[in-house]
Chains A and B, each alone.
Chain A
Amino acid sequence: MSLLAELNDLKVYFYDQRDKRFIRAVENVGFSINEGTVLGVVGESGCGKTVTALSMMGLLESEPGIIDGQFFFKPSEEDAELIKQSLSRGVRKQNDYKKDTLFNLFFGLDRYVSFEENPFTIIKDSEKWLRRNNRIMEHIRGKNISMIFQNPEQSLNPFIPVGGQLTRTIKRFNREANSYEIKEKAIKLLRSVRLYRPEIVMSMYAGSLSIGMAQRVTIAIALCSHPRLLIADEPTTGLDTTNIYKMIELLEVLMTEMNLTLMLISHNIRIVSTIASNILVMYAGTVVEIGSKNYVMKTKKGPKHPYTEALVSSVPSDSDIKRGKKLRVIPGTVPNNKRKMDCCPFLERCPYAEGKIRQKCESACPELARVASQHYIRCYLFYS
């Protein structure tokens, strides 16, 4: 299993025009994905999951946006040369954009960003950065990384029927194919996402699809280009329980059929854990726990971040339901991310922050600490 993508220290900020201050959306998020595996990303609403995904796609247009980080990605061989060219444009020192066969797609970011302490300001030439980033991402979007968005209905073009959008995308990635082949392929794709009577679906407009259908169509469109990495942002929102598991099953099948690697974003840690091999738990814009599924999901023994523990027990497992166990609700809400990180972000809701440890929790934000091989937790409880 070789490394496909690695994100290090991603920092994303926005600027609040009304309050005249910076909002911390994502801070020090990092992970790595191996080819053919599933990375699950979980966390409550507003903890920065979508922002992380959009940053990876270079689609974050709000200012200042990404201000720090590295995103290593291994593109397909035919694109590698093009990416290398666009990365090294206007750069003299030419070796640190690469790590083995992985390219740092955020390479050169530091030339556009500078900080000023006191008062805390970020100066970023977003326009120039976006132009550079777009040139690089041109070779990445679609062919290498595809994304399906949180709201499937709105992410379909309402002016073009489903078939038109599919064939348009297929055509762009298969220039030689004739219109008959393209249509065949579109139908095949719609079949592969388990849409019945694809000929009829092809002639439908986004407005007349149900959520489940729209979600399947967006998946089909995202797969037209045979991406290496598929980012699925909450593909199960708006679906009912049986359909949620059908959707997850579908994703699993597609992974083997199409040789995909999946980054699966969801609120629900149990849904994610059914197919994910690694799980990343985010809270208030940071990673609080990351590790292989077995470590993260283990409820009884072993180290575990208090937030993950709460997440797991807030969603019932099948056996819990059978035993009639009561659900635990996580008290409180996600802190607003305008606050500076001078204590543990989970402090207000943490049941373990008592006594001696509480002083520590209040003094500074804990670092992500290694508790086992490939298992990291951001909590003072597990500092050794």
Chain B
Amino acid sequence: MTRFLKLFIKELLSMFLLIIGVTALLFLLFNLMPGSFPGKGLGGAEYLKLLRRLFTFQFGTSIVSGRDINTIVFPAFRNTLILTIGSIFLSILISVPIGIFSAYRGFESYSWPFVIFSYIMSSIPVFYLGYLVIYAVSRYTGYLPIYYPYGSERGNPLISYVLPVLVLGFGNESISEIVRLIANELKRVMNTDYVVASKARGESVLRSSINEGILIPLISIIFSKIPFLIGGAVIVEHVFNWPGMGRLAFQSTLNRDLPVLIVIAFLAVLCVRSGMLLKELILYYFRPGEK
């Protein structure tokens, strides 16, 4: 338990330092930008005020639109969350069965088409895949909405989630990585003594190797992929005009809206680091030896 507490405190501390670092850097860069615009030339006292606003989650108002940042950022945050979590689940849904299949059969037998498919999917750049899908969908079918219908009452926003989630789910590079990792790990674990021993009493091999062979590698890879997923989400949001954090960040940069940008950076750091913390927590639960 003390080990766990130590870990928790360490993670919190690093999260805090990272937030300070990232926001300070942004603040500095903003002040170094050429040209003059509102919000430039603020001093250290303003920065401290900004930090206080961040840590109390009362983000203040946007320089450009004058609206409360909380009402801008949180819906966008929710949308990005839906996009990333949905696509993670999709990636897992596709890659884990392929990984298991190829661990059982090896690359030589029927599993190779799936493995190759996963590699192709991972090597297509996600924006390219996005445009390809938009082209195909809008040209040959009329069913799925390509863009998020915000502002209008037409269309169901739930359906408009489908395409972006599909594209990010297939197109982020993690599919082939998960396939490879699970195929290797599961194959190794399936030959360990304890799995063979459980097979000797008639237990299913998959069931006894699921902890070490699938869950642990899957959890460690998924959480370490979160930063990349957020990066991919920015692109997908741009392609599909999806009102998420990525698009918001892009617009705020063009508008030179520092308060919004800093809030976005803050939330991104928060997400990535809490993902790491969650990963440690879950792995801690799974690894009995370290309890």
CB distance from B244 to the nearest CB of A (A): 38
B199 touches A141 (CB 8 A): yes
Return the chain A residue nearest B205 by Cβ.
A134
Answer yes or no: A143 CB below 8 A from chain B CBs: yes
Q: Mark A32-76, 1 if CB is under 8 A from B, else 0.
A: 000000000000000000000000010101000000000000000
Interface positions, chain B 178-201, Cβ under 8 Å from A, are 191-201
Return the chain B residue nearest A225 by Cβ.
B201
Q: A154-B192, A157-B208 are in contact. Are A225 and B202 (CB under 8 A)?
A: yes
Residues on B with C-beta less than 8 A from A172 are: 202-203
Answer yes or no: A174 CB below 8 A from chain B CBs: no
Contact-residue bracket for chain A: 20 to 34
Complex: how many Å from CA A151 to CA B200? Answer: 14
Complex: how many Å from CA A159 to CA B195? Answer: 11
B289 touches A157 (CB 8 A): no
The listed residue (B201, B208, B289) touching A222 by CB distance below 8 A is B201
Main SS at interface, chain A: loop
Return the chain A residue nearest B204 by Cβ.
A172
The listed residue (A138, A157, A169, A224) touching B194 by CB distance below 8 A is A157
The listed residue (A160, A169, A205) touching B201 by CB distance below 8 A is A169
B200 touches A61 (CB 8 A): no
Residues on B with C-beta less than 8 A from A225 are: 201-202
Return the chain A residue nearest B193 by Cβ.
A154
Answer yes or no: B89 CB below 8 A from chain A CBs: no
The listed residue (A57, A155, A160) touching B193 by CB distance below 8 A is A155
The listed residue (A146, A159, A165, A205) touching B212 by CB distance below 8 A is A159
Return the chain A residue nearest B201 by Cβ.
A142
Residues on B with C-beta less than 8 A from A168 are: 203
Residues on B with C-beta less than 8 A from A218 are: 197
Residues on A with C-beta less than 8 A from B202 are: 138, 141-143, 172, 225
Answer yes or no: B288 CB below 8 A from chain A CBs: yes
The listed residue (A143, A154, A207) touching B289 by CB distance below 8 A is A207
B288 touches A207 (CB 8 A): yes
Return the chain B residue nearest A222 by Cβ.
B201
Interface positions, chain A 147-191, Cβ under 8 Å from B, are 147, 149, 151, 154-161, 165, 168-169, 172
CB distance from B251 to the nearest CB of A (A): 47
Complex: how many Å from CA A148 to CA B282? Answer: 32
Interface positions, chain A 215-268, Cβ under 8 Å from B, are 218, 221-222, 224-225
Complex: how many Å from CA A213 to CA B197? Answer: 17
Answer yes or no: B211 CB below 8 A from chain A CBs: yes
Answer yes or no: B284 CB below 8 A from chain A CBs: no
B194 touches A154 (CB 8 A): yes
Residues on B with C-beta less than 8 A from A143 are: 202
Answer yes or no: B286 CB below 8 A from chain A CBs: yes
A59 touches B194 (CB 8 A): no
Q: Could you tell me which A residues sit within 8 Å of B by CB distance?
A: 57, 59, 61, 127, 138, 141-143, 146-147, 149, 151, 154-161, 165, 168-169, 172, 205-207, 218, 221-222, 224-225
Known pairs A154-B193, A161-B288, A165-B198 / 15 extra A-B pairs, C-beta < 8 Å: A59-B196, A59-B200, A141-B200, A141-B201, A141-B202, A142-B200, A142-B202, A142-B203, A146-B200, A149-B196, A155-B196, A155-B197, A156-B194, A169-B201, A205-B291
Those 9 A-B pairs whose CB atoms lie nearest each other, nearest first: A142-B202, A155-B197, A154-B193, A159-B211, A141-B202, A142-B201, A205-B288, A147-B200, A207-B289
